[in-house]
Structure 1
Amino acid sequence: MTESRCDVVILGAGLAGAAAACICAERGLSTVILEARDRAGGRGFTRHFAGTDDLLEFGGGWIAPWHDRIRHYAGLTGVTLRPTHPVTEHRVHGGGQVITSPALQVIKADALLYKSGKSFSGSLTQYLDRIGASPEDRDYVLAWWTISGNGDPDLILASEFLSSCSYGDGRPESMMSALAHTLVPGAGVLAERMIASSGATLHLDAEVTAVTDGTVTCADGQTFAARAVISCLPLNALASVSFSPELSAPKRRAIELGHGGQSLKLWLKVRGVRPGILASGGPGGLRWLFAEREAGDGATLIVGFALADGSLDPGDPQSVERSLARFFPEAELIAWDGHDWIGDPFARGTWVALPAEESWICDAEIWRPDGRVAFATSDFAPGAAGWFEGAILAGEAAAREIIL
């Protein structure tokens, strides 16, 4: 295969790679982006729902009020921001307002302490044991955990949950204050448009297998030589790439451990439910659901989350219907759809969830450049880790710090 040459090769066409390409363009650098999938977007994935005309985001969706950089690029590329529908009703599993329980009052206080700088060690399970949470408390917390910690509560750091509660007044449901907008058409389209505006050359179906002294090799044998490389691959996908010279010991150990993000996201199209209803709690299955908006045909689109603990089978109609009926007995399920991010070989997980015993793995400082290779992803971003804003911040920072 013919070797291609450029100033910078970027691995991955998600929002980190797109942001890195934009900064490289500002620096006047020739840039090639290599993407293993047949699309840009990374963990942003904009596509049609179940063969309909409804264009939905199957990856990350929400934009917080303080996410300035993603708003900047959205404005530049003609991507608009849709305000999240106000919550008109909150259905708690079992019918109770469990936020009044003593354990949940402790959570509220601890979240505010976290916001002021206090650290909390241990897993979520250990934390809930420590504060004497009841089974009902745990069900309620795990519902909100599906959109915060999103991994095995026995293994993932409790502060992943407390940090999300701290976005509001400390109550779990105050996390909604951070879920202010979604992107129209979606995060995947934003990445596509950013890359196009950067002028970078994008190669799809280009799975990277090795980075050797600035030369990048793809699975099909094609090689790209560059003065610098920016890896914008998720932490859990880095194990499939060999680096020579080898990466620093902390990076190698972090890659070996990986993070534990393993949530399931489904879109459900239903009739008989009005937009604006939030539902949370329950002992398994879909634990968190929000009737987000109307579909093009007048039905309602509900976004739902579950933990990958075996309590929901996304391929089983009865499993999905049972989860829906617990909160929305009036709903008629028309269709549902999702993407398997855990089984996706180029993601191998959802958004970052730090292991309680090895939370250092995503410290931005250990992901400083190794020689000619810089690193950027929302998993170990210098700010807003786990959000698309973090991906953009990481991509911009990596593109600025490479030395040619």
Structure 2
Amino acid sequence: MAAGATTVLAASVLNSAMASSIKPAPDVPEKTSADGGYDTIIIGGGMAGATAARELGTRGKKCLVLEARNRTGGRTFTTEVFGERADVGGQWIHWIQPHVWAEMQRYGLQLLETPGASPTAYGVVVNGKLEPFDPAKAFELLNLGMQVFSKDVIDLFPRPYDPNFNPDSLKTDNISIAQRMKQINVSDETRAILESYFTTAVNGPIEQAGYLDQIHWYARAGNDMDRLLRACTQYKISTGTSSLIELLFRDSRAEVKLNTPVQKVEQSSRGVKVTAENGKTYFAKSCIVALPMNCWNDIEWLPALSPGKVAASKERHVGSGFELKVKVKGNKGSYQGMASSGYPINLVYTDYISDHHTKFVAMGYSVPGFDVNDDDNVREAFTRLLPGAEIMESFAYDWNSDPYSKGTWCDYKPGMWSKYGEDMRKDEGRVVFAGSDIANGWRGFIDGAIETGLRASRIVLKQLG
């Protein structure tokens, strides 16, 4: 690539230049050991942790937030890309997502539209070859395909934010997306478009992804494919996700300790003692754990966590990929290209257009032989979906290699919801769990993280009295 590739793996952990501007509240003194100075310790400074901190702080509770990285934001991350601020983690939001939209209105944040969500040109790999489609025709095939895919189970979630309302909702939890695709009869073109969509949606192989989760996605958008796509890809916060994080922490008045991974959590009748990897200990009356489920087992818990939490964390969710930002020479217009499981890049679409260059977002997951750090690998995979593109620069963030996420957004594997779902959401005494991975609504989205931060804070407020 002309200017070479910039790759961020776990660099957000190490590079202090990328740290959030969040600072501890100046009038909140540090309280360590078993001095009872905090009402709540929050482990994890992402959207769920920040929301919980705001809710508790505005009600007069003293909170300490322990964040392993050198920045807040969790699986949202606003950093410098091609000389400008940009998001390289969770970023897309929509007004049908009630919790994040409420925060947008509360703080007066504005939207930024992604051009590629409404493409004027579209291509998808069909039987190994990139085929051009009229975007309207491609959507028609996707929409009809989704209706076939969800036939007979479209009413499983009459109340999408209460997924257990229907006692039959888990009856298809043992089926993978790939298994369901084998059961349906659609054209090769429709199959390619559907499989490409699902591979992007789960950010991993569809052979490992649960059918039920995608039915729940569909239900959250009112079984409307156009609405679902727009909720996933069209709108971002114009000032970046970091602006919302900063506002939440500003209002929380919480003390925030960066570069502080947690080693052990012990609870007793007196409260919760948290030991950091640096040996420092902190004590509070309660604790909120706002970490990705893939990281739960990295902490020693006394007493032990519920068996379902342990098993789910060991098994991990499906999302296991990366996000690429690619700057291409020339005006390429509003374009979207897709490929299914087995291809290293599953989605390429326009993020910004100028007369001289076009910026693209690309998403994929690790497949054998592909290295997101290798310029030649990236060029080959990217131009497979946008032939002839002359790449000027690229930027990669490999969330799978980030030790404090160990993956991207959450999509459950077959059987995971029914086997572990109850335990994953269960409170552990004075320790309450939050995070997008256990949301009842928009799981895997910013909205789901905020939902669980609100829920956790309500439970802790009741505990604190």
Q: Report the TM-score when normalising by structure 1.
A: 0.89
Please state how far the C-alpha of 1:149 moved relative to its aligned partner.
1.8
Q: Percent identity?
A: 26
Instruction: Give the secondary structure class of the aligned counterpart of 2:202.
Output: coil
Query: Does 1:159 pair with 2:159?
Result: no
After TM superposition, the structure 1 = structure 2 runs for residues 271-290 of structure 1, keeping only pairs within 5 Å, are 271-281=329-339, 284-290=343-349
Tell me which amino acid in the other structure corresponds to 2:377: S
Please state how far the C-alpha of 1:205 moved relative to its aligned partner.
0.4
Please state how far the C-alpha of 1:81 moved relative to its aligned partner.
1.6
Q: For 2:381 and 2:217, locate their aligned partners in 1 and report how far apart those are by CA, in whole Å.
A: 24
Q: Which residue, out of 127, 131, 148, partners 2:201? A: 148
Query: Does 1:211 pair with 2:259?
Result: no
Query: Does 1:80 pair with 2:110?
Result: yes
Q: Answer with 31-40 or 80-89: which moved more.
A: 80-89
Q: For 1:365 and 1:65, locate their aligned partners in 2 and report how far apart those are by CA, in whole Å.
A: 30
Q: For 1:191 and 1:211, locate their aligned partners in 2 and report how far apart those are by CA, in whole Å.
A: 25
Q: For 2:224 and 2:440, locate their aligned partners in 1 and report how far apart those are by CA, in whole Å.
A: 26
Partner of 2:359: 301
Q: For 2:199 and 2:332, locate their aligned partners in 1 and report how far apart those are by CA, in whole Å.
A: 23
Partner of 1:107: 146
Query: Does 1:60 pair with 2:90?
Result: yes
Structure 2 stretches lacking a partner, 5+ long:
1-30, 158-168
Q: For 2:294 and 2:90, locate their aligned partners in 1 and report how far apart those are by CA, in whole Å.
A: 17
Partner of 1:35: 67
Partner of 2:448: 390
Contact 2:149 2:180 in 1 (8 A): no
Instruction: Give the secondary structure class of the aligned counterpart of 2:301.
Output: strand
Contact 1:165 1:173 in 2 (8 A): no
Cα deviation digits, residues 6-29 of structure 1 (max 9, x gap):
000000000000000111023211
Q: For 1:144 and 1:99, locate their aligned partners in 2 and report how far apart those are by CA, in whole Å.
A: 11
Q: 1:153 to 1:327 in 2, by over 3 A?
A: closer
Query: Does 1:193 pair with 2:247?
Result: yes
Cα deviation digits, residues 54-95 of structure 1 (max 9, x gap):
211111121023123223323444542212323222223332
Tell me which amino acid in the other structure corresponds to 1:95: E
Contact 1:362 1:379 in 2 (8 A): no
Instruction: Give the secondary structure class of the aligned counterpart of 2:288.
Output: strand
Tell me which amino acid in the other structure corresponds to 2:150: A
Instruction: Give the secondary structure class of the aligned counterpart of 2:68.
Output: coil
Contact 1:292 1:302 in 2 (8 A): yes
Q: 1:366 to 1:340 in 2, by over 3 A?
A: closer
Contact 2:436 2:450 in 1 (8 A): yes
Please state how far the C-alpha of 1:166 moved relative to its aligned partner.
5.5
Query: Does 1:258 pair with 2:297?
Result: no
Contact 1:147 1:305 in 2 (8 A): yes
Query: Does 1:225 pair with 2:283?
Result: yes
Contact 2:176 2:209 in 1 (8 A): yes
Please state how far the C-alpha of 1:145 moved relative to its aligned partner.
2.2
Q: Answer with 98-107 or 366-375: which moved more.
A: 98-107
RMSD: 2.9
Partner of 1:26: 58
Q: Answer with 334-343 or 311-320: which moved more.
A: 311-320
Instruction: Give the secondary structure class of the aligned counterpart of 2:89.
Output: coil
Contact 2:40 2:288 in 1 (8 A): yes
Q: Report the TM-score when normalising by structure 2.
A: 0.78
Tell me which amino acid in the other structure corresponds to 1:199: R
Q: For 1:383 and 1:270, locate their aligned partners in 2 and report how far apart those are by CA, in whole Å.
A: 37
Partner of 1:243: 301
Please state how far the C-alpha of 1:273 moved relative to its aligned partner.
3.6
Contact 2:264 2:276 in 1 (8 A): yes
Q: Which residue, out of 146, 155, 171, partners 1:116? A: 155
Please state how far the C-alpha of 1:152 moved relative to its aligned partner.
2.6
Size of the alignment, in residue pairs?
401
Query: Does 1:399 pair with 2:454?
Result: no
Q: Answer with 121-130 or 217-226: which moved more.
A: 121-130
Q: 1:175 to 1:332 in 2, by over 3 A?
A: farther
Cα deviation digits, residues 87-134 of structure 1 (max 9, x gap):
222223332559599998453233365442275441122112222567
